[in-house]
A and B are shown apart, each in its own frame.
Chain A
Amino acid sequence: MKTHHAKRVTIIIEAPMRRRLEEAFGKAGVTGYTIVPVLGGSGRSGRWSSEGQVGLSGGMVQFVSVIRPDRLDALLDAAFDLVENHIGVVTVSDCGVLRAERF
């Protein structure tokens, strides 16, 4: 089956920044994304866990979006302003999709 080239962007960011990042996706014209809860992890700022947390400050969320390659720069520009000073990870990878018209 024929597949079409696309970019998969994942952004792990602090939970309090979730709404702002959703807005940044919207401004970049990216309307398709999924937000995934994450359980815990470890990084430059030490270990963290979402277990038992009642506030947002200790948690992280992951955004996953598959977009057309020509939209990548706009999304990364919009997201970078938010991610620059915050704890998080941004990755971009190549992927293939079956229905190109949906992205």
Chain B
Amino acid sequence: MSDILSLASENLLSPIILSFVLGLLAALARSDLTFPEAAAKALSIYLLFAIGFKGGVSVAGHGLDATLGATLLAGVALSAVLPFVAFALLRLMSRLDRLNAAAVAGHYGSISIVTFLAGSSLLAQRGVDAEGYMVAVAAVMEAPAILSALWIVSRGGESRFDANLLREILLNGSIVLLVGAFAIGWITGQDGMQKIQPFIGAPFQGVLCLFLLDMGLIAGRGLRRTRASLGMGVIAFGIVMPLLGSLAGLGAASLLGLSLGGTILLMILAACASYIAVPAAMRVAMPEADPSIYLTLSLGVTFPFNLAVGIPIYYALALVARGGF
């Protein structure tokens, strides 16, 4: 029990979580603290490149694991299946109509790379190694959930699929950058890492703090403006769904025989909700769905829950499942 408490406090009192809290409180208190759009995008490009590159270098160093292909497939399957679970749960727990429930559900199979980064940071702090290719798993989990959500909503009426949208989903900028940086890291290996280590190594945690400060500001502004439009059932869903997702991730990781670190990261990926790729796709494919519901739920409820409470819970669950506690 003391180990769990120490893990929780270590996570809560880390600079990245406190930066998020600062942003959240500043926005709720109506401070004029803001990030220019271009600065926020530059920070996200840096983080995606750095995490992709590091993952590629790790795979180059340790070699390809036999479970890589199976883990990628498991990631795709989790991303595709979780929206159906989320949709059923939303229809049960909330009064959302079919369209809004499908739009929200799509967010819960896709991923939040920042939650993944926060989880990776906690693992690094505690000296827990994870499979380097988990970054590639994160990349393949972005898109299938969107297709599942489109399928759910297309069943009841006109098709929401179109060739342009599919291309945009699959070539989404964050996927291209993550996979591309992973490939560069894999090709250049440790030599490449030595050349750009001062850029992607030391500043990483500081940049992540600034990015989370901005995420806190966005989440706080969203909550301030739209919290009244979320019913209790929808808010409860934003907390229950990540827990269910993490258990699905735990089951998949156990079947695959992933390391402790890999298990925790797969749980985090299955538990988090997208707030970048999926909302943009939903605005194109389902313009009638209310963006204030899915954006506020994903960014204002599930994201902070995962950062503050979820990640330590998933860590503890993974340890319990391996008999570590």
Same complex origin of A and B: yes
Which residues of A are at the interface with B, using a C-beta cutoff of 8 A?
14-17, 20, 37, 45-47, 49-59, 85-87
The reply to whether B36 and A55 form a contact with Cβ atoms under 8 Å apart is no
Chain B nearest CB, measured from A89 CB (Å): 15
Chain B nearest CB, measured from A83 CB (Å): 10
Contact A51:B288 (CB < 8 A) given known A20-B164, A46-B225, A86-B283: no
Bound Cα distance A82, B91 (Å):
30
Chain A nearest CB, measured from B27 CB (Å): 9
Which residues of B are at the interface with A, using a C-beta cutoff of 8 A?
34-37, 40-41, 43-44, 164, 214, 217-218, 221, 225-226, 275-277, 279-284, 287-288, 290-292, 295
Residue of B nearest to A23 (CB): B164
> For the complex, would chain B's binding face be called helix, strand, loop or mixed by DSSP majority?
helix
Chain B nearest CB, measured from A64 CB (Å): 20
Chain B nearest CB, measured from A15 CB (Å): 8
Contacts A50-B37, A86-B287 given; 11 further ones with Cβ under 8 A?
A14-B287, A47-B225, A51-B36, A53-B40, A53-B218, A55-B275, A55-B277, A57-B276, A57-B279, A58-B218, A58-B291
Q: Which residues of B contact A20 (CB under 8 A)?
A: 164, 284
Residue of A nearest to B37 (CB): A50
The reply to whether B280 and A57 form a contact with Cβ atoms under 8 Å apart is yes
The reply to whether A51 and B284 form a contact with Cβ atoms under 8 Å apart is no
Residue in contact with B282 in the complex, picked from A45, A53, A57, A87, CB distance below 8 Å: A57
The reply to whether B283 and A57 form a contact with Cβ atoms under 8 Å apart is yes
Bound Cα distance A18, B44 (Å):
21
Bound Cα distance A52, B217 (Å):
8
Contact A46:B277 (CB < 8 A) given known A17-B283, A86-B283: no
Bound Cα distance A58, B282 (Å):
12
Bound Cα distance A56, B41 (Å):
10
A-B contact pairs, 23 of them (CB 8 A): A15-B280, A16-B281, A17-B283, A45-B291, A46-B292, A50-B37, A51-B35, A52-B35, A52-B36, A52-B217, A53-B40, A54-B41, A54-B43, A54-B44, A54-B214, A54-B276, A55-B275, A55-B277, A57-B279, A58-B291, A59-B37, A85-B288, A86-B287
